[in-house]
Structure 1
Amino acid sequence: MSERNLLQEPCWQGSDLGHPLPDHPHAVSMALPRWSDVIAYEEHEPACRSALQTIYPRFGLHPFLQELASQVNSEGIGVWPFASRAAAQAALLHCQRKSPQSTLRLVDQQKISCLCTDAAANIHAKAFWQHTGLGASSRQAAIALGHELAPAPNQGEQARQRVRQRLAAIHHCPEEHISLVPAGMAALHAGLEAVQTLRPGRPTLQLGFPYVDVLKQPQVVFHGSELLRSTDLGDIVATLDRLDPAAVIVELPSNPLLRCVDLRAVAELVHARGIPLIADDTIGTGINLEALPYADLVFTSLTKSFAGRGDVMAGCLLISPYSQWTSTLLEAVAPRASLSDADAIALERNSRDVNERVPRLDANCLALAQKLETHPAVKRVLHPKDCKNFQALKKRGAGDGCLLSFELHAGELNAERVFDALQICKGPSLGTSFSLVCPYTQLAHYDELDWAEACGVPAHLLRVSVGLEEPNELWSRFQEALAHATDQPKV
């Protein structure tokens, strides 16, 4: 059976609940086609959860990983398969710190290292799994179970070399400055471990409203993190001098508000104080942005726009050749797990067209943002084109990324109606060749909606990753959905 063409036949109706996005054994997203499905997913309602044919890899065990875990005689509660023995050992040490009296053990199941936990430690193992992205991949599990054949090791290394060459050309940095790891959050983990060698035991400082796990990982796994929402340089100076952080973390741009700090000015402030700067360019992409002259470390989820298909998890950490700590960081960066052979091969294959595909995604996103701004039902559109700090980092002729967010007038009333009627795929993730929409705040901050609202991220915000659909066809789908909004203001 051929894969479903999600450009022409998106998963948007109730009957599509739980369908993998894309229609592939290693899909990293799943369809949550109605607002009520999103709520049911967050409430862990059995009918919704049982309908899921897969799950976003860091938020739960892929079916192959569930099968592998079921074979382990855990003698306890939790079984967490990791991408490497070193990653599993790091998880064990984390659980020991959080729950010293717990019973923990490592078990190698079909060459995959699993952490087995008791009830007290299980919540900490789950948090480490989610926040660090160091879990075993679905391809690793499929090979361990005998469902798929393992590639020859030289094929995996050749694929990693080609990916590093591709990334080096995009980012204008040496290949040896690039580490390939199982996920974007695993890249952040490697970066945070490295900066601890420079400034041990210190918390980090996050500037601007963050993607949930970019903030949670240093808070939960390392030595804490403080969030500063203000982008005022005076406020940043005061916080730097008070906190004296291990590192400052920024997103280029932030998710889902699509804004960023004045990176040049922030870099001057932090470097004058001997503090390294870590940047996440997943949304802006290295194709569009020049971040390495300012950030000492740049991490990226290659799962998103770089791979573009939504069927492989991967991340990279780049060490800036301009950093005052380049040589120290090159010695210090030692990821707990490398990208597996099978995942590297899939990533290399998927990213061959990245230099042609990303500009098309960017152009389609810009066109949709401009049209949404003119629609009477739309209250606000968030897009990097309106952020001068983002624009200042762009390469010549570059785009703005494939992501936008928008609010509707009478948002709480209309967001559900428009979302349910919108005929594009609905689920988490971004950067795919097919468009994806989700009620972002509900998915990322369901248990802290009031906090997110106080940070300027309303519960009814809709986030759209724009794909390669024909732009006029895509706009017609949005027009049809927006017609379901009521109480539209007179124009």
Structure 2
Amino acid sequence: MLYQELPTEIGDPIPANTPHAISVNLPTWQDNIDYEEAHERVISRMSNGYPRFFIHNQIKKLMSICEQKFAKETESCLLFPNHSTAHRCRIYIRQYYLSEKFVSPVCIRLAELTVVPLDENISTSFHESVTLHVVLFPKDAFPIAKSFWQHTGVGISSRLAEYALGLMQAKQDEQYTKIPTKRRSSFKIRYCNPQISSPKRISPTDITFSEHSEKVEENCYVEERYGRNLPILFANKAKIALKRRIAGVLGIEKNGDNLDEVISRPIDTNERGVNGITENDVYLFPTGMSSIFHAHQLLLEAFQPKKSICFGFPYIDTLKILEKFGPGCHFFGNGSSEDIDTIENLLMSGEQILALFCEFPSNPLCKSADLKRLRELADKYNFSIVIDETIGNFINVEVLKWADIMVSSLSKIFSGDSNVMGGSMVLNPQRRYYDTLKKVIEIEYEDLLWGEDAIVLERNSRTFRERILKINENTEEIYELLRKNPKVKKIYYPKQITSEIYLQYKRSQGGYGGLFSITFHSNLASQQFFDALPIAKGPSLGTNFTLACPYTILAHYLELDWASKYGVESGLVRVSVGLEDKEILLKAFQKALDSISDE
């Protein structure tokens, strides 16, 4: 039996029966192609999807409410957690909508909707007010607005949407007694328009929406009542614990440690290898991509805007952020020593750089960047280095010392349960730009990580150390099986790819991580292997269960030739290994290998 119950239908959430799952079941190669081509067979069955690419049903309900009250018949909307991100979305839509449509400027409007509990003095699950920032735009601009949502990762979370709907439902339904602690609420709406000088008040009784799901109530009750989650009142403590864990100052945690113990523990360890680091150098974000987006924005704000460098073939939206939100970037997609030579020549010629962004190792090719050489160039030519450690993680590698800023997706192995989004940014207090960056971020930073998401992340991450070590072991076993099989063309895994560089940063107790990619001698072989592999299949990585996807098809379907120039073949299969018994996993992968026909 595999670690995770597999969903049975296309479009079902992964994990199965999980309201806030962040992956979705696409079990065959053709399913993934049909998804990319928007075939009705697949799209009509999508009840879930990766949150930056798929708008959760709870968020859709809120969008419908906002469109009902704010939008013209020709308009759609998206929802954001604060004004600045909504304003940035408006700027983005204006820039790309006008450039594509060649029409006169349109009015892209902002509105606010605030939901306030009736009695704020009672400590219950519903005690916080929620303000939604609404961006209204022409319906045919929705794909552009959606690309902003995808690239930046700053949209509202599904748990925030669920919470807001619960408040609204409580107001409209006086019999709302499924959970005894919940109560009625009121809400107010403020409408902002560039052409209107004063807010327009709208009666809350005018709001209509479908009945809030009883299943949502049940999920909330079970999670809080039986100890899986703490009530939202503990969100601030959960965030402190998260920051301390990410800063690497907690050491080995014990079973039974409570939040008060975690946040009050004296700092007597440092797993980051950087003197002086504390939780005050850690900043939380609603998604990993949001942390990358805000790292770039921080640098643009702190220094004179210049082009950045994207080093190595990155996850797709990192490159889009650097290209679309600022002066642009230089792309060195191979991430090789020859690329570093070219960068050095570029800098010697007088080109000035804001920052270099890289992953360690990279996704999906698992290449490791020569951080020491890049650091020498950064110090000599006055630019910052931003390292994404999502794939490596600080249990396996020690790379913060080479970075000015470290970013990571907490949605992945740090959480493991594939049921919550989050991201982090860490400033290195030993780098010369630290004081400048610290000054700017203390002014600009807004904590947009929804409290319930923080609570889930904190709970999930308590065991991340032991999970990583187990996954390291499982992955090496699978690697040994695959590398000996003649049907396999190439394996991309840190132990195989640029291993001499990876070993320079590998911690003594660390391993090679849980991610690898694999190619075969034909696309047919890739499809046969993928279709026969009896594990969960969908987007995302770093899950406690083994998860695979045809990476290039999902991430670069409209640019396959471009991706292939950097070694990312169309038949590449990416695998994220989980916690299953290794014998079960070895049998699963052997079965998939056996399914490949002789050619």
Quote the offset at 1:201 in angstroms. Answer: 2.6
Pick closer, same or farther for the CA change 1:464–1:152 going to 2, 3 Å.
Answer: closer
Larger mean CA deviation between 412-421 and 219-228 belongs to 219-228
2:234 aligned to which of 147, 150, 155: 155
Question: Residue 110 of structure 2 corresponds to which residue in structure 1?
Answer: 106
SS at 1:250 equivalent:
strand
Residue identity matched to 2:473: A
Is 2:12 the counterpart of 1:19? yes
Residue 84 of structure 1 corresponds to 82
Higher relative contact order (CA 8 A, sep 6+): 1
- Tell me, in whole angstroms, the C-alpha distance in 1 between the residues paired with 2:4 and 2:452: 29
Q: Tell me, yes or no, if structure 1 residue 35 matches structure 2 residue 25.
A: no
CA contact under 8 A between 1:42 and 1:443: conserved in structure 2? yes
2:2 and 2:584 in contact (8 A); partners too: no
Equivalent residues in 2 for 1:3-402 (5 A)? 7=3, 9-11=5-7, 15-23=8-16, 24-73=18-67, 74-75=71-72, 76-99=74-97, 101-109=105-113, 110=115, 111-119=131-139, 121-146=141-166, 147=216, 154-169=233-248, 170-171=271-272, 173-230=277-334, 231=336, 232=338, 233-241=340-348, 243-333=351-441, 334-335=444-445, 337-386=447-496, 387=498, 388-402=500-514
Contact 1:250 1:261 in 2 (8 A): yes
2:358 alignment partner, SS class: strand
Partner of 2:591: 480
Closer, same or farther: CA 152–479 of 1 in aligned 2, 3 Å: closer
Give the alignment's TM-score, normalised by structure 1. Answer: 0.94
Q: List per-residue Cα deviations over 1:55-107 (Å, max 9, x = no partner).
A: 10001211111111111222244321113232212212322344461221122
Q: How far does residue 8 in structure 1 lie from its aligned partner after superposition?
A: 5.5
How much does 1:198 deviate?
3.7
User: Within 1, Cα distance between the matches of 2:363 and 2:232?
Assistant: 36
Instruction: Point out the more displaced range, 213-222 or 445-454.
Output: 213-222
Distance (Å, rounded) in 2 between the aligned partners of 1:223 and 1:7: 46
Say yes or no: does 1:463 pair with 2:564: no
The alpha-carbon deviation at position 267 of structure 1 amounts to 0.8
8 Å contact kept, 2:232–2:455: no
In the superposition, relative to structure 1, how do residues 6 and 471 fare at CA in structure 2: closer, same or farther (>3 Å)?
A: closer
Gaps of 5+ in 2: 99-104, 116-130, 167-215, 225-229, 249-270
Measured against aligned partners, the alpha-carbon deviations of 1:405-434 in whole angstroms (never above 9, x if no partner) come to: 01112x212111111111000000001110
When residues 288 and 368 of structure 1 are mapped into structure 2, their CA distance, relative to the original with a 3 A threshold, is same
In structure 2, relative to structure 1, the CA distance for the partners of 1:406 and 1:284 (3 Å cut) is same
Residues of 1 paired with 2:446 and 2:300: CA distance? 15
Tell me which structure has the larger Cα radius of gyration: 2
Letter in 1 for 2:390: T
CA change 1:8–1:201 in 2 (3 A) is closer
What is the identity, as a one-letter code, of the residue corresponding to 1:392?
Q
How far off is 1:469 after superposition?
Answer: 0.9
Partners in 2 of 1:438 and 1:152 — Cα distance? Answer: 35
Task: Give the Å deviation of 1:6.
Answer: 5.8
Superposed, 1:399-438 pairs within 5 Å as: 399-409=511-521, 411-438=522-549
In the alignment, residue 40 of structure 2 is paired with which amino acid?
P
Note the alpha carbon deviations across 1:216-251, whole angstroms, 9 max, x for none: 111122221221134223222123445422110011
- Whether the 8 Å CA contact 1:134–1:337 is kept in 2: the answer is no
Deviates more, 1:291-300 or 1:194-203: 194-203
Aligned AA for 1:144? A
Verify the 8 A CA contact 2:82 2:132 in the aligned structure 1: yes
Q: What is the CA-CA distance between 1:194 and the residue it aligns to?
A: 1.2
SS of residue matched to 2:112: strand
Contact residue 6 and residue 14 of structure 2 kept, 8 A: no
Q: CA RMSD in A?
A: 1.9
Contact 1:182 1:315 in 2 (8 A): yes
| 1:114 to 1:212, Cα distance in 2 relative to 1, 3 A | same
Structure 1 range deviating more: 355-364 or 437-446: 355-364
- Whether the aligned pair in 2 keeps the contact of 1:181 and 1:335 (CA below 8 Å) is no
- Hey, what's the Cα distance between the residues in 2 that align with 1:382 and 1:99? 39
Is contact 1:292–1:322 with CA below 8 Å preserved after alignment? no
- Opposite residue 208 of structure 1, the aligned amino acid is G
User: TM-score under structure 2 normalisation?
Assistant: 0.77
CA 1:314–1:102 in structure 2 vs 1: closer, same or farther (change >3 Å)?
same
C-alpha contact (below 8 Å) 1:132/1:189 kept by paired residues: yes
Contact 1:267–1:294 (8 Å) recurs in 2: yes
- Note the C-alpha offset of 1:108: 2.6
Query: How far 1:336 sits from its partner (Å)?
Result: 5.1
- SS at 2:598 equivalent: coil
User: Helix, strand or coil for the counterpart of 1:71?
Assistant: helix
Q: 1: distance between equivalents of 2:434 and 2:374? A: 19
